[in-house]
Structure formats: C-alpha cells, structure tokens
Chains A and B, each alone.
Chain A
Amino acid sequence: MTLLPFIALSVVAIAFALLLVLNRNAVHGALCLVVNFAAVAVFFLMLGAEFIAVVQVAVYAGAIMVLFLFVLMLLNIQGQEGGLEQKPRSQILIAAVLGILLLAEIGVLAPLAAGLGGAQAAAVPADFGSPRLVGLTLFRDHLLAFEIAAFILLAAMMGAVVLAKRRLA
C-alpha cells in the first residue's frame, strides 16, 4: 500500500479510462473498461477490501461488461459513430469546460477531504474487509437497504425482460 504501486496502478486506470472515452470502437472501449475495473479491483485489495475486490471482478467485469458485450455483439452497431470530429463544436466545448471545472473543484476539495481522512490509514482489525465482517455489517446495520437493493434488482430484471422481449405479434 505504498506510493509506487498506487501511482503505477492509477496511471493504468486513468489511461484505460481515457482510452474508453476516446475509443472509436465500442468493443475495445468495453475491454478498456474491463481493464480499468481490474485496476480498481486491485486498488480495493490495496485498501484491504478483498471481498469487495472479488465481487467487483465477478459483478462488474464478469456480469455487467458481458452484458455490454452481448448488446454490442447482438446489435452489431459497429462503427456508426465517427470519432470525436463530427460532434457539434458546442457540445465538446461545454463538456470541456465542465470537465475542467470539475477537476478544479476536486483539486480544491482533495486537501480539504484529506483533513477528514487523515494522512495515516486508521488502525483496522486484521480481517477488515473480509466476507465475515462485510456480511455482519451488511445484515446487521443495513438489512433494510439490502432488501431494497433486492427489490431494485427484481424490478430491473422484470423491466429488462419486458422491454427487450420481442413482441411476438
């Protein structure tokens, strides 16, 4: 959890994020995102959240990105979109301005937040981030949220089926 791996990995993460945004081909974009997720999973490991790291890989990389790939492949909407060139000038300008503003804001906020978190990581029990502890917190303090998440997933499932189902007219 030292600075070197952190910087290395953040460079990887940021690079692949930029690749995703700037990539003309959607599938390649998806793969870049997968790599980004892997990098973030490693970050989670560095931050002592093994369970979440593995879940991240399983859920994000394993399920969500597969969904993306599925849709990309099913619809085969390859290359409709040109690169950044033909976008309306104004849209890019706005996006750029807002992006810079956001960055500036984060730049300002980061040191403030630092005060919050403190330079040193807090002393933490050995099995911090282990499934046992996560499970305990999840089902003791946030059971209601868990149930609600369950409902959201149920609703999403039904929604997806209804929306995408080919109308057998």
Chain B
Amino acid sequence: MAWNAPVPFASWVMLSGVLFSIGAVGFLIRKDPIIMFMCIELMLNAGNLLFIAAARYLGIMAGQVFVFFVMAVAAAEVAVGLAIIVAIFRTKSTIDVDEMSGMRG
C-alpha cells in the first residue's frame, strides 16, 4: 500500500470502532466511576470521529453539526455525573461502583 494513498473510509470506521470498543471494555472492566466516565467520553469521541469522517466522505456538513450536539450532551452528562459522584462520595466516603447497589429492586 503506498504510504501516501488516500485513506479509505473503511479505515476510519475501523479506527473509531476500535476506540469505541476500548472505551466499552474499559467501562466494563474498571470499578472506579471516574474512569468509567472517561471511558464513556472516549466512546463518545469515537462516535464524533466517525461522524466527522462520514461528513467528510459524503460532503454533508450535518455530520459536523451533530458532533457539536454530541459535545453539548457529553459536557452535560459529565457535569451531572461528576456531581453525583461528589454527592455519593460525600455520603458514603467511597465511590466503588459495586457497593453502590442501594437502588436494587
């Protein structure tokens, strides 16, 4: 493969897929909620990447606008998520996900 050949769209899908799965697996493996949040951010970012790639390959601006919204949502999600973690930490002095099963049925 010539090094300067243009990058096919499939590779972008592969890349964002890999990043997404790393994020997903990370989310499942780790017990620390902050790491889990980061993994979620990672997944979201992988999503953004694919959006932009698709926008570029299809020539539609909408892709980029969507990324804009994803970012808004991600920011909101982190804000609330971290607030919750702070609240939990303040009450239970630990934020280990497995202990937090108070809400079970």
Contacts and interface: CB of A to CB of B under 8 A. Distances in A.
Touch A–B, Cβ below 8 Å: yes
B6 A102 contact: no
Given A102-B17, A133-B61, A2 B29 contact: no
Interface string A99-124: 10011001101110110111111111
Contacts of A59: 71, 75
Interface of A: 1-4, 6, 10, 13-14, 17-18, 20-21, 23, 26, 29-30, 33, 36-37, 40, 43-44, 46-49, 51-52, 55-56, 59-60, 63-64, 67-68, 70-72, 74-75, 77, 80-81, 84, 87, 91-92, 94-96, 98-99, 102-103, 106-107, 109-111, 113-114, 116-124, 128-129, 133-134, 136-138, 141-142, 145-146, 149-150, 152-153, 155-157, 159-164, 166
A149 B3 contact: no
28 contacts: A4-B4, A14-B19, A17-B26, A21-B29, A21-B30, A26-B34, A26-B35, A47-B55, A56-B71, A60-B45, A63-B75, A64-B74, A71-B82, A95-B29, A102-B17, A106-B18, A110-B17, A117-B9, A119-B8, A119-B9, A124-B59, A128-B56, A129-B56, A134-B65, A137-B61, A141-B62, A145-B65, A156-B75
